[in-house]
Structure 1
Amino acid sequence: MTSRKKPTAQAEPGVGTSIELFTGGGGLALAMHEAGFRHLLAVELERRACGTLRLNGAVDYEKGSPLPKSLGDRWPLRQGDVREVKFDRWLGEVDVVAGGVPCQPWSLGGAHKGFDDPRNLWPELFRCARETRPRAIVAENVKGLLRPSFKPYYDYIIRELSAPFEQRIEGEDWRDHDKRLVKALRAHDVDLTERYDVKYKLVNAADYGVPQVRWRVFVVAFRKDLGLADWEFPEPTHSELALKHAQDSGEYWEEHGVPVREDLLPEVLPLPDGKPRWRTLRDAIWPASPESRSLRLPEPVGDYIEHPDWLHHVGWPGARQYPGHTPNDLDRPAKTVKAGVHGVPGGESVVRLDDGSIRYMTVRETARVMTFRDDWRLDGPRGEQMRQLGNAVPVQLGQVMAESVAKALQQSSSERA
Structure 2
Amino acid sequence: MFAGDSDLSLTSIDLFCGAGGLTLGLENAGFLSVMGLDTNRDAMATYRKAFPDAEAVEGSIAGYDFGQWRGVDLVAGGPPCQPFSNGGKRLAAKDNRDMIPEFARAVNTIMPRAFIMENVAGLLAPRNREYMAEILSLFSDRYTILPPRLINAADYGVPQKRMRIVLIGLLKGSIDFPAPTHLPGRYVTSGSVLRRGETQGYSNPSKIVYARRPDLRPSPYAGQLFNGGGRAINLDLPAPTILASAGGNKTHFIDELHAVIPYHKHLWDGGKPRSGELEGGRRITILESAMLQTFPTEMEFAGSRSSQYTQIGNAVPPRLAEVIGASVARALN
Q: Same fold (TM over 0.5)?
A: yes
* 1:299 matches 2:203: no
Aligned residue type for 2:321: G
| Gap change, CA 1:96 and 1:24, over 3 Å in 2 | same
Report the identity percentage.
36
Counting helix residues as a fraction of each chain, which structure ranks higher?
Answer: 1
Other structure's SS at 1:337 match: coil
Distance 1:162 1:86 in 2: 18
Root-mean-square deviation (CA, aligned residues, Å) is 1.9
| Residue of structure 1 aligned with 2:190, choices 273, 276, 281 | 281
| Residue of structure 2 aligned with 1:345, choices 249, 265, 285 | 249
| Residue of structure 1 aligned with 2:301, choices 358, 367, 378 | 378
**Unmatched tracts of structure 2, length 5 or more:** 1-5, 215-222, 225-230, 260-279
Q: Is the 8 A contact 2:257 2:281 kept in 1?
A: no
Other structure's SS at 1:407 match: helix
| Gap change, CA 1:209 and 1:398, over 3 Å in 2 | same
Aligned residue type for 2:122: G
1:64-83 matches, cutoff 5 A: 74-83=53-62
Other structure's SS at 2:249 match: coil
> 1:51 Cα shift?
1.1
Q: Is the 8 A contact 2:154 2:187 kept in 1?
A: yes
Aligned residue type for 1:396: R
1:196-345 matches, cutoff 5 A: 196-199=143-146, 200-223=148-171, 226-228=172-174, 231-240=175-184, 243=185, 277-286=186-195, 299-300=198-199, 313-321=201-209, 322=211, 323=214, 324-325=223-224, 326-340=231-245, 345=249
Aligned residue type for 1:85: Y
Aligned residue type for 2:65: K
Q: Which residue of 2 aligns with 1:362?
A: 285
Aligned residue type for 1:37: F
TM-score (normalizing by structure 2): 0.82
1:106-145 matches, cutoff 5 A: 106-145=84-123
Aligned residues: 290
Distance 2:197 2:29 in 1: 30
* 1:15 matches 2:9: yes
TM-score (normalizing by structure 1): 0.66
Distance 1:375 1:361 in 2: 17
Distance 1:13 1:319 in 2: 53
* 1:161 matches 2:84: no
Q: Is the 8 A contact 1:15 1:406 kept in 2?
A: no
Q: Which residue of 1 aligns with 2:218?
A: none
**Unmatched tracts of structure 1, length 5 or more:** 1-11, 59-73, 164-194, 244-276, 287-296, 301-309, 411-417
> 1:353 Cα shift?
2.4
Q: Which residue of 1 aligns with 2:268?
A: none
Distance 1:77 1:341 in 2: 26
> 1:227 Cα shift?
2.5
Q: Is the 8 A contact 1:330 1:353 kept in 2?
A: no
Question: C-alpha offsets along residues 286-324 of structure 1, whole Å, 9 cap, x if unaligned?
Answer: 5xxxxxxxxxx9723xxxxxxxxx6xx111223315433
Aligned residue type for 1:210: V
Distance 1:365 1:315 in 2: 10
Question: C-alpha offsets along residues 43-76 of structure 1, whole Å, 9 cap, x if unaligned?
Answer: 1111110111122233xxxxxxxxxxxxxxx111
| Gap change, CA 1:368 and 1:96, over 3 Å in 2 | same
> 1:349 Cα shift?
2.1
> 1:387 Cα shift?
0.6
Distance 1:120 1:387 in 2: 19
> 1:341 Cα shift?
6.3
Greater Cα radius of gyration, structure 1 or 2:
1
| Gap change, CA 1:26 and 1:81, over 3 Å in 2 | same
Q: Is the 8 A contact 1:319 1:350 kept in 2?
A: no
Other structure's SS at 1:101 match: coil
Q: Which residue of 2 aligns with 1:261?
A: none
Distance 2:157 2:67 in 1: 38
Other structure's SS at 2:165 match: strand
Q: Is the 8 A contact 2:15 2:77 kept in 1?
A: yes
Other structure's SS at 1:42 match: strand
| Residue of structure 1 aligned with 2:124, choices 122, 128, 146 | 146
Other structure's SS at 2:180 match: coil
Other structure's SS at 1:158 match: helix
Q: Which residue of 2 aligns with 1:402?
A: 325
Distance 2:294 2:246 in 1: 22
> 1:374 Cα shift?
0.7
Q: Is the 8 A contact 1:20 1:97 kept in 2?
A: yes
Other structure's SS at 2:106 match: helix
Other structure's SS at 1:383 match: helix
> Which structure is richer in relative contact order (CA contacts within 8 A, separation 6 or more)?
2
| Gap change, CA 1:82 and 1:285, over 3 Å in 2 | same
Other structure's SS at 2:205 match: coil
Q: Is the 8 A contact 2:246 2:313 kept in 1?
A: no
* 1:51 matches 2:45: yes
